Every structure is written in C-alpha cells, then in structure tokens.
Structure 1
Amino acid sequence: MGSRIAAFVVASCTAVVVVVGCSPSPRNAAPTTTPKIADYDISRVSEIASAFPPGHVPQMTPKQRVDSILPSEVDRFADGKLSSVDPPQCRSLLRPVDVSVGSDVARIYAPGPTSDISMMAVKLAAPLNADIPVQGCDHVGYTLDQGQPGGTVERIEAPHIEGAKTQAITYQASADPVAIAVEYTAFLSDRVVITLRTTRKQDTPEPPGLSELLGAAVAAVRGTYTPSQSKAPLVKYDINRLADVKDAFPQGITPNVIPARTSGDIDTVKIGLVVGPTLISVDPPQCEPVLQPVRQSGGAIMTALDTPGRDGPHVVVGASQSDHLSPVELPQTGCEHISYSVEGEHGTVDRLVPPTIDHAKTFAFRTQYTYDYGTSGTRHFYSALIDDNIYITVRGQLDSDVESEQALPELLVKAVAAVRG
C-alpha cells in the first residue's frame, strides 16, 4: 500500500479503539462452560498465524509487559492525546480500555498487498471500569491534542462469538481521507480483550474471513483452537522464510535481513528490473520486455537479504508477494544479446540458461554495464516466479563470471525451497 497508508498504520494499527456495534445482550451472556480468566493465555494468539488471509504475512510480537514498552505503543489515546469528542458523552466509546503499566500485550501485524491486518490480545492490569455508551454514539467525531486533526468513527454490525461481547467500528482519520480502518473487538472478560483491525484504501475490498479470524483468536486465547475452526484460507508459502538462506550465501558475504514490509505502487514498478528503471533505448527494440520479464501492478509485500556496500563481491536476494504479478511474453529468438541505455548507464544484456525449478518460471541474465562517469563491471540476475504470486530474485557479482554463474543460481534454488518451506 502507499506511503500514506503506511503512515496511517503506524499511527493507529495498534490502537485499542473500539466502538459498539454490540451483539444483543442474550448473545453477550457468557455460558457456564466459558473458561475462567486464569485459563486465558494471550500468548496463544500466535497459534492462528496460518489462518490469516492469503497475501498477508503475519509478524509476531511475543507477549510483553507494559513495563518494558510504552503505553502509547499499544494505545493510541494514551497520555492524554484525545482532546475532544462530539458528542461528549461518547468519550469512553473511543477509549474503553486502559492499557496501563502492568498489562500484558501480544501482537500480530500482517501486511498485505492492498490492506494491512493488525491484531492485539491484552490481559489488563486492572478491570475495565467504563461502560460503552450506546445511545447517540452511532457517529462520533474527535480531535487530538496540540491541534492535530482527528477523525470520525461509526458503528457497524459486530460478529457474534459465543461467550464474548463483540463490538465493531469503521474509523477514518481526517489527515488521510482515502484510508479507512475497520476494527473488531471481542471482550472475553473484564480483563481480557482482543482487537483486530484492517487498514486499507477505500476503493479496495476488505480482506476475507476477518470475523472467522477474530473467532479463531478468541478460541486460541481460551485454549480451544484447532486450525479447522478458521474458515480463512491458509497461507501456502511464507516469504519471511527467505531469511533461512542467510547462511547459504557465498563464503565471505554476510547479508543483512530486511524484514517484510508493504511496498507502494512506485516501489513495485521496479520489481523484476534487470537494468535501471529509466529506460532510454533498447536494441533490438522488440527485446524491451526481456529487461523486466515479470511485471507488477499495485502493492506487494517485499523482503530481502542485502549485502552492505557494493565494493567487491556482493549479492542481494529479494522476494515479493502479490496477487498482481505476471510474466511477460518474451521473444523466442533475436534477443540473446541486447544493447541498452538507461539514465546514467549503458551496456549489454545476455540471456543465460536459468536453473530448473519444479513448478516455477525461471529467468537468467548477465549484464555488462558502464556508468556515465566511466566505471564498468558485470552483474548477474536470476529469478523465479512461483505460484503466480511470489517472485524471488538473486542479483550480484562474485569474483568471476564462472563463480557467479555457479553460486547464484544455486542460491536461487535454495531461496525458493526456503519460501516453500
């Protein structure tokens, strides 16, 4: 998603901001079989990682005590940041939970190509002490302190979860009118609360299966969860496992792990580029598709293993996950050797024989380049498109072409195997 969405997520994705869309009181009555609070374990929320919708890569933050982290990290309105609420009697609707020092918090953040999902399970240090107003609070406006713009919240229908009170809102920040958040909250007791929030652009659909995902989280905290309880499709591959090939890099190269993040439309234009993005000329002209054999439209999740600096041997391994990846139809002949010119650089690209990987489309290229200021060199590029929604690239140069053309395709094979698990 775009940078504005990312900023919105940072500002609000971990907030415990809940508005009633309460299920009727008979549904809220806890049955006698509901576990006691002593049986609740918020750390078990991690059990539902495989239940997140496809394309969303869960990142776990283990249970923490709000002694080592600031309340503001998990509570948007901590430290008196909420300035005004209209109607005034709806103030507790915006902040019914005080995640104070001594509370325990476990979190999951799962970015996706067009939306982000965040979940937080809280065991409060003190019981809830504010009633959620019901009358006159269907539409509420608020502002923040120091003159910061606020936003609006509106009540929506909440999912029904047996033995829990549930609430739901839509939330929109004035500073970003194209972004919208939907938040579902389940109160398991007066001390244990789970929130699930998704943030997206208004013109994109909500991820599927969120009600079931919240229900799975409640079951996990209660200790009754099994994967079959979640109706959300399972994530087959995990690009976070790319980090597992860190030790497989050529000897003497120690990469840095760049955690998975949501990229915007501008970033994803660059996915799959063999040479720089500002293309000036290609000869033969019909070979232009070869210089970006896989194209991306819209956002993606991206992670990488990157070598510090570019002096001497270096390798970069990247993975992107998106529902909008597509291979380009490449000419069968006439494009084995291509001349190109991009901003600040010119050179040639030769097609190589790519490694064979089951159920994957693979590519291989060698680039001889010269920068406009005179420096020249060689780069190798190997890539694989798997399952039509994950693209893995290996690019770089070792001490010789022979070494590069042996070690880099082997690294691509290992990277694909790691992501596939």
Structure 2
Amino acid sequence: MNSGDLAWVLISAALVWVMTPGLALFYGGLGERRNLLHTMFVPIMIIGIATLVWFVIGYSLSFGGSGSVIGNFKHLFMTNVSFTHSTKSLTIPDGAFALFQGMFPIITAAIITGSVIGRVRIKAMLVFITLWLIFIYSPLAHMVWGGGLLAQLGAIDFAGGTVVHISSGVTGLVLALMIGHRHNDQHVPVRPSYVLIGGALLWVGWFGFNSGSALAANGTAVLALVNTWLASAVAVLTWGLAEYQWHKRATLSGITSGGVAGLVAITPAAGFVDPWAAVLMGLLAGFVGFFGITFVKNSFGYDDTLDAFGIHGIGGTVGAILTGVFADKQVGGVAGLINGDASLVWKQIVAVLFTVAFAAIGTFLLAKITEVIAAPLRLTPEEESKGYDTLMHDLTVES
C-alpha cells in the first residue's frame, strides 16, 4: 500500500461527495421560484439513498465477480472488502476503492432529477432512483470499470462519460418524455448567485472526480487534473461567445453552465489525451452544450427542465466519441484515431449506443414498475401549480 496514493484517493472521494450539494445549489439557482427549496432538497435525499444502496448491494453488483453484464453478491453489505490490502492490483486497499467509487452513483442519480424536478412526485422519484441505481447504474459500472462487456469490447471511459453522464442524461430525457411538459411554466432562473456557488463546488469536486480516477497520486492524476482545468476553462469562453451571438448577451448562469459542459466532455478522456486535445474538446463542448439546450431542445420540443440531457447526455456522448479520436498511446496507453487506430472510435460509438439503449429501455421499464408499486409519476396540474415548496416544505412563495 502507498500512503500518498491512499491520501489522494480519500481526498478525491470527499471532493466528489461535495459535488452533490454543489449540484443542489446549481439546480436550485436555475429552477423555478415555487420549487427552489425542493430542487435542492431532492439531491440531498439522494445522498442518503444512493449511499445505502451502494453499501447494501451496489458495490457488489458493480465490482464483484467477473460476469459480462453484472457482478455477484460476494460483497453484500460490503462484506469481504479489505481495508488493509488490495485484490485489484492497486496501491490502495479495496475499502478506499469502494469508498471512492461509491461517490459516483450519488452524483449520477442527482443529475437525473434536473430533467423533471417540480412535476414528478417525490415518492415516485425516490423509488425510481433506488431501482435505477440497482438495475441501470450498477450493471453499467460493471460493464465499463468492472471488467464486463464494454471493457472487453475495448471501449474506454476514464471517469464516467458513459456510466455517469450519458446514462443520467438519457434517463432524464426518457422521464421527461414520459411525464410530459410542465403546466404553467414559470421557469426563469431565480438565483444566479446559487448557480455560481453550486457550479464552483461542482468544478472543484470535478478535479477529484477526474484526477482521483487515476486511483493514485501519479502522473496520470496530474494529466487528468490539467486536462479538466483546461477543457472547462475553454468551454466557459465558447459558451459565452455562443450565448452572446444567439441572445446578444452573456449571462453568469450561462458561462457557469459552459464550465460544466466542458467538465462533462473531458470526463471520459481526462487520463487518455494530451492537453492540446483537452483544449479542443473544451472548445467544442461550449458550443455543443449551448446548442444542446437551445436548438436541439427547441427543435424536438421536449421539456428537459434544467437541461440534464442537453449538458450531460449530449456532452457525454461528444466526449466519449472524441476520446476515441484523441486518445494518445504515449499518454494514456491507448491509441485512438490520431495514433492511427480508427477502431477505437467505433468501439466508443458502440459503447455510446449501447449505453443509450440500455439506459432508455431500462428507464422506461423501471418508471412503469414505479407507477405500479409506488405512485403516479406526475403531480396533478393543481399540485404542480402550487409548487413543492408549498406542498411539502411548508414554505409559501409568490407564484
């Protein structure tokens, strides 16, 4: 065991945990006044749910055994997990690995809520999230990081382009389509300062998210952090430019969202590409993210409330494919198109399509099951009009 590696992974785990309260603030600032408190409440509830699911069964299904699609039950309740040595040829104990990986399903599930917040019943959402973590997230984590199907295919995902961002974005879109448009839409960002503070927490946490995924305090961790820094910074500029050209103004909420778009895009590539490629990916991410929440959303007419699909689903897809383009064998050990191996691009495309189909079909089925065992997904028009801050949190707000 290496004490320096262990210290970095533990710090990174704490940084990833901070991302969820950050997302709560970020979403709260972007959301409707009548659901301000509720928008922040739900991600915090998910910290409790996702943590318990991970402890009971999620880690075992994600990283137990050697199946192609799903793990086994060897580590239920985190039994047979050593806190002193590694069975995965790492320099950190298995307990530290389980801790770090356990932060990822929390933020992934929280991202989903942004697509439907304010018009989905809280009971239905919490039941759905529990099922989703078991039957969608855990298999994907196993297939990508646990030696399963997509890993065997040769697709790569450094820190969660497919497992985290595509899966959560697609899930949010499917739920939004199933639930339908909002009634009496009052969606005007009400707290730009919350967006900035939450975005800053996300940003700092993301350094641990990506750099910590090296699972050691080494050169790959440094590369991942540098790439994350560069891509997010460039995306701020390109989003701001796109927003100014489209709306004749640039906003604080907009450029902060641009930073998040850059973070999403670089996530699958952070430890596999050179810094110059990270700059190009960030440049594209700012434009693509803005395009996703404006032109794509308006053209297809879906109601993705806080743009979980536009930023995470589309951004994760672009990042995963570009990883196949820019991966440099001398940097990350895997050759992409720029190194003359076009096959990685096709492997990445297959992984993206598989993730989209798996998340979409699984979400539809789990949403239907949720309606049977819990409650209708959607609030009534009258309940939605009042807002959850009044209905549940005993907070009277102006409509």
TM category (shorter chain) comes to under 0.3
Q: TM-score, normalised by structure 1?
A: 0.22
Higher relative contact order (CA 8 A, sep 6+): 2
Q: TM-score, normalised by structure 2?
A: 0.23
Bigger radius of gyration: 1
